[in-house]
Amino acid sequence: VGDIADMVSDLNQPMIVTPGNDDALSDALALLASQPELRNQIGLANRDKARAQLDEKTMIDSYRRLYASAMGRTTLV
């Protein structure tokens, strides 16, 4: 869905499958179900990426730049 593949860590990328590919989804789920340490590593990597790139301040700053640009401004007050 949308930007999910961009939001998750590199370690999580192999678990992102093409919509409608039931075999790939089944394989990814089976792998995750059988490897608790991998699940933990992926979770930690996703958390670290989210904290570094997707925190609230970063999101607000990004929206401010986007809206300012759409309005032909350099900043929003």
User: Full-prediction pTM beyond 0.75?
Assistant: no
The SS3 call for residue 70 is helix
- Could you tell me the mean pLDDT of each successive run of 10 residues in the chain, 77 residues long? 82 94 97 97 96 84 90 82
Write down the pLDDT at residue 58. Answer: 82
Helices vs strands, H then E, count in the chain: 4, 0
42 by Cβ neighbours in 10 Å (0-12 / 13-18 / 19+) ranks as buried
